[in-house]
C-alpha cells in the first residue's frame, strides 16, 4: 500500500543528499514574515545580483525562521565539505561583502557570524547550538524551520516527514489515541487539555461526519509561534491533521488561519496542493480506506475567534460569538457534528510523536507537562525571538540564559506569560518551572507561548491597563460580566493611572475581577482579569503609590510624574523653552529656567532636548512639591 | 419518561426530564433571578444572573444546566451572591436611572432583580458610568428602540430568528460597544422588520417599548378581527377604550403570538372617523341610514345583476365557513361561477 510513498521518500532522500553534498555553495536566507520585515527579500536579491556579477554558481534557497528575531535577516552559507555559517543582520552591502570575501575568497568574516552549523568547525566561530541562545533549547517542533525549503514537499519527506502518517495508517484509530496518551501531550493552544482525552470523546461519538479543525487564529498580541511554524514547516501541520483526523474518524479538516498571515496562507495553500498531488491527503490516502480533505478558512482576525465555539460559528459563516458548553464541540461542533479543534503546534507535535514514538516525545518535560514548547520571548530582553525549550525549564533560565538577560542590564521586574489571559510573575518567582501547573499556581497560564519581559521602567498598572484595553475591545460583547466588567475595570485602571482613584477602588477592581472571572461565559472573559489580579497580588505597592501618593514609580503614567529643571545645572540656553509645546517654561536667556507645573503637559520634550552635558531637566515620580511660579524667577 | 428528583434549597423537586435547573425551579415556584432566559426560546446563557451552586460542580448558570437525578442545588450562597451581584451592579451602572418615567416601569425584569438581590446605593456609587448616550430609534410607527436601556440579553434577536424567522436584528460591534441592531445599524423601519412586536413583548427592559403604552384596567379575551386564522387575543381595556392587545397564550391558533395587525391595529375601533352606521348615496350625497334600508338596497341591486353580470371576490378576513357561504351564494343564488379569493391573487 505504501510502495508509492516509499519510492517518493527514496527519491526525496536522494535529492536531499545531493543538495547537501553539492559541489557549489548553499545560501539559505530566512524569508519568513519576520525576516521579510527586516529586509530579507532585498538580501536574496543582493545575493543573486552579486553571484551573477561574478559568474558564481550557488543554491540560493529561501527558508523559514530560526527564531532569532534580534538578528534578522539571517543567512546561512555552506561551502562544499564545510560546516554552514550563520550570519546575523545581513543587509545587501554585507551580502556583497560575504560573496567577495567568503565565496570568491576564503575568509568567512567571523565578525558577522552567529555560529556554525553541521559537522566540522571554523576557527573563531562557535557552533551555533553551543551559543547561549541555543544551548538550553531543544528544537524539535521548530527543528525543520530555517533548515528546509517550506515550499518543497520532498525536503520535508526526506527528513522523516509523513512517516508518522504512514505509521498511523498501519494501525487502528484506537492505537493512535493510545500513542498520544502515552506521550502525555497536552494542548498547546492555551488550556493544556490532554489531547488524547479530547480525541477519545470525539472518537466515542457516533456520527456520519466528523471534523478536525486546526486553530491557527493566533490572536494574542505579540505572539507569532504558530505563524513561524506554518511559514517554516507547513507540512508538519498537515501531517498532524491527517493523523488526528484518522484517530477521531474525521473525513474533513479545516485550517482556520487569520487573513493577516498572508505568507502562512500562501505556504499552506501550496503545501496542501503538494500533499494532495502525492496522495497524502484526499480520498483513499496512500491506497488506504482513509479519506481526509482539508480546506483553508481565512478568519478576519478577531481574538475571540480563537475560542473553539466562536471559531466554529465563524467557519459556519456566522458572527464569531462563543456559545455555552456543553454540548462540547467533541460531541456537537461544526455544523452540529463532532469536531475536534487543535492548535497548530499540538498538531505538529502529533506528527512528531507518530514519527518518533511516544517515549521519544516524553524524554523531555516534567511529570505532567511532557515534551518541548515554543515561546515568543519578547520585551526588555537582549535576545528576542522564537525559542523552543523542554517544559520544566525555569523562567530564570529563559530570561537570563536564552534571552541573555534584561536589556541594558536594567533590573528585572516581571515576566508576563499567556498573553491577555495570563498574568505577571515577579522577580522572586523567577525559579518557577515553565509547566502548565506551576504557572497556574503562580496565577498565570502558559497560554500559547507569549512571554514578555519587563524591567523597572515598566509600570505594572499601565501593563494591566494595556491588556485590559485589549480584552475589552476584543470581547464579543455577548455576556454581561465580560462586556461590562472588563470596561469597568479598564475605567478604574484609567483613573488609577491618572491619579483620580480612591483606595476603595482596589477592592472594586478585585470584586469585579472575580465576578468577571467566575461569571463569564467563555475563556476570554474568564481569564481577562488575570493581568489585573496578578499585578495587584504581586505589585500592590505600585498600585498604592498611584492611588495614595499620586505617583508612578516607573515614571510611565503621565499624570503622575513631574518634570523639573535643576537650577544648579541649568545654563539658561533656552533650548527647552523653545520646544515646549505648552509654553510652560519660563526664564530669560542665561538665567535659570523654570517649568510652570500648571501649564506643563508632561510630554517630556524638554527632558529630551536639554543637552546631555547639562542634564538639567529631571523626571520625578509623583506630583510637584514646590510652589509653582506664575512668572519667571527662581523657585 | 420518568421524572427526575432533585433538591433545590433543601426542598425536594420533581422535574420533567431534559429540563433545566431554572425551569425546574420556576415550575416549583422557586424564583431564580434570570434575564436572558425566555420559555419560548433556546437558552443563551449570557446574562449570568441565574447562577446557582450545584453540589460537586460549583457555580453554574441554571438556565443551561440540565436537571439530574439526585442533584443538590442552592440558589443562595456567598459565592452565588458575589457573582450575580457584580453582574447586576454592572448592568445598573450602565443603565439610565429614570425608572419612574420609563415605559416599562413596574414591569421590568431588571428592576425586579435589583429589588430581589438588594442594591446598596453607596456600593453602586463606586462604579464608573461611562456609557455614551445612544439616540432612540423612533422610526417604527408602533414601538421605540431605546438602546440605552438594552441589557443585551439577546431575547429580541432569538425571538426574531427562532419564532418569527425574520432575522431583522442581530448583534453589531464588539465589547462595550456591542448593541443589538438591524442590518447596518440603520433605523428599524428601514430594515426587513415586519413590526410583529414579538420582540417588544419579550424584552425584559424598557429598551423595546410600545409607543404611548397605557396600562389597561382589565383584559378581555376575544378573537382577532383581521383574518381567518382567528388568533386569540387579550384586549386591554381602560375607561371603555382599547389600549392594548396581547396574544392569548391559551389560544391554539396562535399560542400567544400575533402579527403587526393583531397587535398594533386596534386603534381604528375608537377612531373618530370610523363608520358606525351604513351610508347610502342619495342625489349624489352619502347619507346615514339604518341596516334595513342599506341591505334592502343591496338585495335589490343584486336581483338586477344575476348571472354573467355578477362576480365576487371573497376576503381573507373571512373564516372558511364565511368563504364557503360566499361561493355558495354566488353560484346558487347569483347563478355564476365567477367567484375568487383575494389570497389567490
Ligand atoms: C479568547 C480565546 C482565544 C483563543 N485563541 C486561541 C488561538 O489563537 N489559538 C489556539 O490554538 N487556541 C486558542 N484558544 C484556545 C482554544 O479555544 C482551544 O482551547 C485550543 O485551540 C484547543 O487546542 P489544543 O487542545 O490543541 O490546545 C483561545 C481560547 C480563548 C478563550
Ligand atoms: S466572556 Fe466575553 S468574549 Fe466570551 S462570550 Fe462573554 S462577552 Fe463574549
Ligand atoms: S418586530 Fe418582529 S420582525 Fe421586527 S424585529 Fe421584532 S420580532 Fe423581528
Ligand atoms: S432590546 Fe430588549 S430583548 Fe433585545 S437584547 Fe435589549 S434588553 Fe434584550
Ligand atoms: S438566564 Fe441564565 S444566563 Fe441569563
CATH 3.30.1490.20, domain B215-274, yes or no: no
Q: Which residue on chain B is closest to A471 by alpha carbon?
A: B175
Give me chain B's average pLDDT, please: 94
Q: Would you say the C-alpha torsion B274, B276, B278, B281 has a positive or negative sign?
A: negative
Cβ proximity of B36 and B156 under 8 Å: no
**Bridge partners of residue A624, in order along the sequence:** none
Largest Cα–Cα distance of chain B, in whole Å?
A: 88
Which residue among B171, B179, B185, B193 has the greatest number of ligand 3 atoms within 8 angstroms of its CB, and so is best to mutate? B193
B258-281 tens-digit pLDDT: 999 999 999 899 899 999 999 999
In chain A, what percentage of residues exceed pLDDT 70? 98
Instruction: Tell me, yes or no, if B86 comes closer than 8 A to chain A by beta carbon.
Output: yes
Cβ proximity of A409 and A382 under 8 Å: no
> Residues near A357 by Cβ (< 8 Å), separated by ≥ 6?
A179
B112-158 tens-digit pLDDT: 999 999 999 999 999 999 889 999 999 999 999 999 999 999 999 99
- Residue B90 to residue A518, Cβ atoms within 8 A: no
Distance, in Å, from the CA atom of A495 to the CA atom of A404, rounded to the nearest integer, reads 36
pLDDT grade for A628, boundaries at 50, 70 and 90: low
Q: Which residue on chain A is closest to B43 by alpha carbon?
A: A324
Backbone angles phi, psi at A226, to 5 degrees: -65, -40
Cβ proximity of A516 and A486 under 8 Å: yes
Residue B48 C-alpha, separation from nearest chain A C-alpha, in angstroms: 6
Q: How far is CA A19 from each of CA A78, A131, A450, A615, B238, rounded to the nearest angstrom?
A: 11, 27, 36, 59, 93
What would the grid cell of residue A573 be? 540656553
Burial of A3 (0-12, 13-18, 19+ CB in 10 A): exposed
Neighbours of A521 (CB within 10 A): 27
Domains of chain B: which residue ranges? Answer: 4-126, 138-213, 215-274, 279-341
Distance A104 CA to ligand 1 centre (A): 50
Indicate the CATH number for domain B4-126. 3.10.20.740
Whether residue A107 has pLDDT greater than 50? yes
- Candidates A489, A321, A482; CA nearest to B47 is A482
> For atom 12 of ligand 1, which residue has the closest CA?
A189
- Mean pLDDT for A328-335 is 96
Distance, in Å, from the CA atom of A140 to the CA atom of A147, rounded to the nearest integer, reads 12
Provide long-range contacts, Cβ within 8 A and 24+ apart, for A424-429. Answer: A424/A454, A424/A460, A424/A463, A424/A464, A424/A531, A424/A534, A424/A535, A424/A538, A424/A539, A425/A395, A425/A534, A425/A538, A426/A538, A426/A539, A429/A395, A429/A538
CB pairs under 8 A between A and B: 113
Cβ proximity of B94 and B179 under 8 Å: no
pLDDT grade for B89, boundaries at 50, 70 and 90: very high
| Ligand that comes closest to the CA of residue A215 | 1
> For atom 6 of ligand 4, which residue has the closest CA?
B150
β A293-299/A252-258 pair status: parallel
- Residue A521 to residue B177, Cβ atoms within 8 A: no
- Residue B176 to residue A474, Cβ atoms within 8 A: no
DSSP state of A224: -
- Residue A477 to residue B178, Cβ atoms within 8 A: yes
Residues on chain A touching B51 (C-beta within 8 angstroms): 519
| Cβ–ligand 1 contact at A193 (below 6 Å) | yes
What would the grid cell of residue B322 be? 364565511
- Candidates A362, A90, A386, A351; CA nearest to A214 is A351
- Mean pLDDT for A324-350 is 96
> Residues near A350 by Cβ (< 8 Å), separated by ≥ 6?
A164, A180, A185, A195, A240, A243, A244, A342
Cβ proximity of A423 and A106 under 8 Å: no
Distance A343 CA to ligand 1 centre (A): 7
Helix locations, chain B, DSSP H = 21-27, 78-93, 109-117, 121-125, 155-158, 198-202, 260-264, 291-304, 320-328
> Mean pLDDT lowest for which of A245-259, A621-635, B207-221, B284-298?
A621-635
Distance, in Å, from the CA atom of B54 to the CA atom of B13, rounded to the nearest integer, reads 14
> Mean pLDDT lowest for which of A141-145, A597-601, A627-631, B334-338?
A627-631
Q: Which residue on chain A is closest to B46 by alpha carbon?
A: A479
Distance, in Å, from the CA atom of B252 to the CA atom of B231, rounded to the nearest integer, reads 8
The B11-15 sheet, strands edge to edge:
B11-15, B4-8, B72-74, B51-54, B58-61
> For atom 6 of ligand 3, which residue has the closest CA?
B199
A239-285 tens-digit pLDDT: 999 999 999 999 999 999 999 999 999 999 999 999 999 999 999 99
Looking at 3.40.50.1820, 3.10.20.600, 1.25.40.10, 3.40.50.300, the CATH number of the domain A372-455 comes to: 3.10.20.600
**CATH second-level architecture of A460-548?**
Up-down Bundle (1.20)
- Mean pLDDT for A473-487 is 96
State whether residue A275 is helix, strand or coil: helix
B window 34-63, beta carbon within 8 A of A = 43-49, 51, 59, 61
Q: Which residue on chain A is closest to B50 by alpha carbon?
A: A519
Which residue among B33, B40, B43, B88 has the greatest number of ligand 5 atoms within 8 angstroms of its CB, and so is best to mutate? B43
- Residue B90 to residue A480, Cβ atoms within 8 A: yes
| Ligand that comes closest to the CA of residue A309 | 1
pLDDT grade for B229, boundaries at 50, 70 and 90: confident
Mutation target among A323, A472, A488, A514 for the B interface, most CBs of B within 10 A: A488
Asked whether this chain's domains B138-213 and B215-274 adopt the same fold, the reply is no
The whole-number pLDDT of residue A634 equals 46
Largest Cα–Cα distance of chain A, in whole Å?
A: 93
- Mean pLDDT for A359-373 is 96
**CATH second-level architecture of B138-213?**
2-Layer Sandwich (3.30)
Residue whose C-alpha cell reads 559568474 in the numeric block: A55
- Candidates A350, A333, A348, A328; CA nearest to A213 is A333
| Cβ–ligand 1 contact at A474 (below 6 Å) | no
- Residue A480 to residue B49, Cβ atoms within 8 A: yes
- Residue A483 to residue B178, Cβ atoms within 8 A: yes
Distance, in Å, from the CA atom of A177 to the CA atom of A362, rounded to the nearest integer, reads 15
Cβ proximity of A222 and A450 under 8 Å: yes
What would the grid cell of residue B111 be? 428592576
DSSP state of A102: I
Neighbours of A516 (CB within 10 A): 33
**CATH second-level architecture of A161-361?**
3-Layer(aba) Sandwich (3.40)
The whole-number pLDDT of residue A632 equals 45
Beta strands in chain B (DSSP E): 4-8, 11-15, 51-54, 58-61, 72-74, 143-145, 169-172, 179-182, 208-210, 218-223, 232-238, 241-247, 279-282, 285-288, 312-314, 339-341
| Cβ–ligand 4 contact at B168 (below 6 Å) | no
Residues on chain B touching A519 (C-beta within 8 angstroms): 48, 51, 59, 83-84, 86-87
| Cβ–ligand 1 contact at A322 (below 6 Å) | no
Distance, in Å, from the CA atom of A332 to the CA atom of A334, rounded to the nearest integer, reads 7
State whether residue B242 is helix, strand or coil: strand
Distance B60 CA to ligand 5 centre (A): 10
A13-42 tens-digit pLDDT: 999 999 998 899 999 999 999 999 999 999
pLDDT grade for A635, boundaries at 50, 70 and 90: very low
- Candidates A292, A206, A205, A204; CA nearest to A255 is A292
| Cβ–ligand 1 contact at A446 (below 6 Å) | no
Indicate the CATH number for domain A15-131. 3.40.30.10
Residue A296 C-alpha, separation from nearest chain B C-alpha, in angstroms: 25
As a dihedral over the C-alpha atoms of residue A14, residue A16, residue A22, residue A28, rounded to 10 degrees, the angle is: 170
**Bridge partners of residue A191, in order along the sequence:** none
A59-101 tens-digit pLDDT: 999 999 899 988 999 999 999 989 999 999 999 999 999 999 9
What would the grid cell of residue B167 be? 432575522
Distance, in Å, from the CA atom of A90 to the CA atom of A179, rounded to the nearest integer, reads 43
Indicate the CATH number for domain A560-621. 3.30.70.20
- Residue A477 to residue B94, Cβ atoms within 8 A: no
Q: Among partner residues B47, B152, B174, which is closest to A473 by beta-carbon distance?
A: B174
The whole-number pLDDT of residue A122 equals 86
Q: Among partner residues A321, A472, A519, which is closest to B83 by beta-carbon distance?
A: A519
Give me chain A's average pLDDT, please: 94
Cβ proximity of B17 and B67 under 8 Å: yes
The whole-number pLDDT of residue A308 equals 96
Cβ proximity of A236 and A164 under 8 Å: no
pLDDT grade for A120, boundaries at 50, 70 and 90: confident
The whole-number pLDDT of residue A633 equals 44
Cβ proximity of A542 and A532 under 8 Å: no
B315-342 tens-digit pLDDT: 888 888 999 999 999 999 999 999 999 8
Mutation target among B37, B41, B46 for the A interface, most CBs of A within 10 A: B46
pLDDT grade for A1, boundaries at 50, 70 and 90: low
Distance B330 CA to ligand 1 centre (A): 71
Cβ proximity of A370 and A362 under 8 Å: yes
Domains of chain A: which residue ranges? Answer: 15-131, 161-361, 372-455, 460-548, 560-621
| Cβ–ligand 4 contact at B200 (below 6 Å) | no
Indicate the length of chain B as a whole number: 345
- Candidates B139, B109, B123; CA nearest to B31 is B109
Residue whose C-alpha cell reads 473553539 in the numeric block: A308
Residue B104 C-alpha, separation from nearest chain A C-alpha, in angstroms: 21
Q: Which residue on chain A is closest to B154 by alpha carbon?
A: A478
Distance, in Å, from the CA atom of B25 to the CA atom of B162, rounded to the nearest integer, reads 24
**Bridge partners of residue B171, in order along the sequence:** B180
In chain B, what percentage of residues exceed pLDDT 90? 91
Q: Among partner residues B86, B174, B175, which is closest to A481 by beta-carbon distance?
A: B86
Mutation target among B92, B128, B180 for the A interface, most CBs of A within 10 A: B128
β B72-74/B4-8 pair status: parallel
Distance, in Å, from the CA atom of A65 to the CA atom of A73, rounded to the nearest integer, reads 9
Helix locations, A142-184, DSSP H = 153-158, 163-170, 173-183
Burial of A492 (0-12, 13-18, 19+ CB in 10 A): buried
Cβ proximity of A154 and A160 under 8 Å: no
Residue A538 C-alpha, separation from nearest chain B C-alpha, in angstroms: 24
Q: Which residue on chain B is closest to A510 by alpha carbon?
A: B86
The whole-number pLDDT of residue A293 equals 98
Distance B40 CA to ligand 3 centre (A): 15
Amino acid at each position: 500500500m505504501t510502495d508509492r510513498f516509499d519510492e517518493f521518500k527514496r527519491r526525496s532522500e536522494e535529492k536531499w543528499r545531493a543538495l547537501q553534498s553539492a559541489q557549489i555553495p548553499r545560501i539559505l536566507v530566512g524569508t519568513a514574515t519576520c525576516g521579510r520585515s527586516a529586509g530579507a527579500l532585498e538580501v536574496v536579491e543582493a545575493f543573486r545580483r552579486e553571484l551573477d556579477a561574478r559568474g558564481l554558481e550557488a543554491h540560493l534557497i529561501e527558508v523559514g525562521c530560526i527564531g532569532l528575531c534580534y538578528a534578522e535577516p539571517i543567512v546561512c552559507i555552506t561551502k562544499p565539505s564545510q560546516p554552514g555559517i550563520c550570519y546575523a543582520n545581513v543587509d545587501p552591502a554585507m551580502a556583497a561583502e560575504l560573496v567577495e570575501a567568503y565565496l570568491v575568497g576564503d575568509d568567512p568574516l567571523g565578525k558577522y557570524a552567529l555560529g556554525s552549523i553541521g559537522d566540522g568547525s571554523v576557527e573563531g566561530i562557535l557552533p551555533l547550538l553551543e551559543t547561549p541562545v541555543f544551548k538550553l533549547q531543544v528544537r524539535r517542533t521548530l527543528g525543520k524551520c530555517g533548515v528546509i525549503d517550506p515550499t518543497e514537499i520532498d525536503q520535508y519527506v526526506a527528513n522523516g516527514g509523513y512517516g508518522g502518517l504512514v505509521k498511523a495508517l498501519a494501525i487502528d484509530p484506537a492505537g493512535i489515541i493510545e500513542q498520544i496518551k502515552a506521550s502525555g501531550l497536552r494542548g498547546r493552544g492555551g488550556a493544556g487539555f490532554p489531547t488524547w482525552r479530547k480525541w477519545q470523546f470525539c472518537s466515542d461519538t457516533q456520527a456520519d461526519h466528523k471534523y478536525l479543525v486546526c486553530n491557527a487564529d493566533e490572536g494574542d498580541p505579540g505572539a507569532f509561534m504558530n505563524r513561524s511554524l506554518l511559514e517554516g514547516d507547513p507540512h508538519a501541520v498537515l501531517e498532524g491533521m491527517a493523523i488526528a483526523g484518522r484517530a477521531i474518524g474525521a473525513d474533513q479538516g479545516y485550517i482556520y488561519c487569520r487573513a493577516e498571515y498572508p505568507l502562512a496562507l500562501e505556504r499552506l495553500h501550496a503545501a496542501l496542493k503538494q500533499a494532495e498531488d502525492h496522495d497524502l491527503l484526499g480520498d483513499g490516502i496512500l491506497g488506504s480506506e482513509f479519506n481526509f480533505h482539508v480546506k483553508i478558512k481565512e478568519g478576519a482576525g478577531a481574538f475571540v475567534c480563537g475560542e473553539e465555539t466562536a471559531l466554529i460559528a465563524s467557519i459556519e459563516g456566522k458572527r464569531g460569538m462563543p456559545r455555552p458548553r456543553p454540548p462540547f464541540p467533541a460531541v456537537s461542533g461544526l455544523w452540529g457534528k463532532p469536531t475536534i479543534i487543535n492548535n497548530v503546534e499540538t498538531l505538529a507535535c502529533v506528527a512528531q510523536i507518530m514519527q518518533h514514538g511516544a517515549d521519544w516525545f516524553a524524554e523531555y518535560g516534567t511529570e505532567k507537562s511532557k515534551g518541548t514548547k515554543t515561546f515568543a520571548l519578547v520585551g526588555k530582553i537582549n535576545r528576542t525571538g522564537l525559542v523552543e525549550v523542554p517544559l520544566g525549564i525555569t523562567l530564570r533560565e529563559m530570561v537570563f540564559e536564552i534571552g541573555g538577560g534584561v536589556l541594558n542590564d536594567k533590573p528585572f521586574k516581571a515576566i508576563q506569560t499567556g498573553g491577555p489571559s495570563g498574568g505577571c510573575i515577579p522577580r522572586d518567582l523567577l525559579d518557577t518551572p515553565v509547566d502548565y501547573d506551576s504557572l497556574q499556581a503562580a496565577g498565570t497560564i502558559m497560554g500559547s507561548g507569549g512571554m514578555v519581559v519587563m524591567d523597572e521602567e515598566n509600570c505594572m498598572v499601565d501593563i494591566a491597563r494595556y491588556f485590559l484595553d485589549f480584552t475589552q475591545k476584543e470581547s464579543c460583547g455577548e455576556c454581561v460580566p465580560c462586556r461590562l466588567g472588563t470596561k469597568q475595570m479598564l475605567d478604574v485602571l484609567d483613573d488609577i493611572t491618572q491619579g483620580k482613584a480612591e483606595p476603595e477602588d482596589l477592592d472594586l477592581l478585585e470584586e469585579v475581577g472575580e465576578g468577571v472571572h467566575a461569571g463569564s461565559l467563555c475563556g476570554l472573559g474568564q481569564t481577562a482579569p488575570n493581568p489585573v489580579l496578578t499585578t495587584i497580588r504581586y505589585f500592590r505597592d505600585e498600585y498604592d503609590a498611584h492611588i495614595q501618593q499620586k505617583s508612578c514609580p516607573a515614571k510611565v503614567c503621565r499624570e503622575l510624574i513631574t518634570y523639573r529643571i535643576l537650577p544648579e545645572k541649568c545654563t539658561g540656553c533656552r533650548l527647552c523653552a523653545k520646544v515646549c509645546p505648552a509654553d510652560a517654561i519660563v526664564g530669560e536667556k542665561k538665567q535659570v529656567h523654570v517649568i510652570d507645573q500648571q501649564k506643563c503637559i508632561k510630554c517630556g520634550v524638554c527632558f529630551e532636548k536639554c543637552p546631555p552635558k547639562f542634564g538639567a531637566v529631571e523626571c520625578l515620580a509623583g506630583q510637584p512639591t514646590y510652589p509653582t511660579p506664575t512668572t519667571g524667577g527662581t523657585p | 419518561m420518568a421524572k427526575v428528583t432533585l433538591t433545590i434549597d433543601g426542598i425536594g423537586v420533581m422535574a420533567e426530564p431534559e429540563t433545566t435547573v431554572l425551569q425546574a425551579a420556576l415550575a416549583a415556584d422557586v424564583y431564580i433571578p434570570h434575564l436572558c432566559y425566555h420559555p419560548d426560546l433556546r437558552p443563551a446563557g449570557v446574562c449570568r444572573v441565574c447562577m446557582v451552586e450545584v453540589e460537586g460542580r460549583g457555580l453554574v448558570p441554571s438556565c443551561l444546566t440540565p436537571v439530574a437525578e439526585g442533584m443538590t442545588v442552592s440558589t443562595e450562597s456567598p459565592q452565588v451572591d458575589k457573582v450575580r451581584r457584580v453582574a447586576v451592579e454592572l448592568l445598573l451602572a450602565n443603565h439610565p436611572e429614570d425608572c419612574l418615567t420609563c415605559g416599562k416601569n413596574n414591569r421590568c425584569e431588571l428592576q425586579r432583580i435589583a429589588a430581589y438581590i438588594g442594591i446598596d446605593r453607596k456600593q453602586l456609587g463606586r462604579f464608573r458610568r461611562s456609557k455614551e448616550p445612544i439616540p432612540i430609534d423612533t422610526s417604527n410607527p408602533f414601538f421605540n428602540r431605546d438602546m440605552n436601556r438594552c441589557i443585551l440579553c439577546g431575547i429580541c434577536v432569538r425571538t426574531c430568528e427562532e419564532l418569527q424567522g425574520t432575522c431583522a436584528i442581530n448583534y453589531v460591534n464588539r465589547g462595550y460597544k456591542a448593541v443589538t441592531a438591524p442590518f447596518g445599524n440603520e433605523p428599524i423601519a428601514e430594515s426587513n422588520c415586519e413590526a410583529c412586536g414579538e420582540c417588544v413583548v419579550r424584552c425584559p427592559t424598557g429598551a423595546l417599548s410600545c409607543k404611548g403604552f397605557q396600562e389597561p384596567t382589565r383584559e378581555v379575551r376575544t378573537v382577532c378581527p383581521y383574518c381567518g386564522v382567528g388568533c386569540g387575543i387579550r384586549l386591554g381595556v381602560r375607561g371603555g377604550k382599547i389600549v392594548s392587545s396581547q396574544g392569548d397564550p391559551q389560544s391554539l391558533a396562535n399560542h400567544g403570538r400575533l402579527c403587526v395587525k393583531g397587535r398594533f391595529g386596534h386603534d381604528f375601533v375608537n377612531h373618530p372617523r370610523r363608520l358606525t352606521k351604513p351610508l347610502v348615496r342619495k342625489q349624489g350625497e352619502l347619507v346615514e341610514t339604518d341596516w334595513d334600508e342599506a341591505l334592502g338596497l343591496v338585495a335589490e341591486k343584486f336581483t338586477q345583476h344575476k348571472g354573467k353580470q355578477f362576480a365576487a371576490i371573497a376576503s381573507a378576513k373571512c373564516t372558511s365557513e364565511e368563504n364557503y357561504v360566499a361561493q355558495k351564494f354566488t353560484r346558487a343564488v347569483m347563478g355564476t361561477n365567477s367567484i375568487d379569493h383575494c389570497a389567490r391573487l
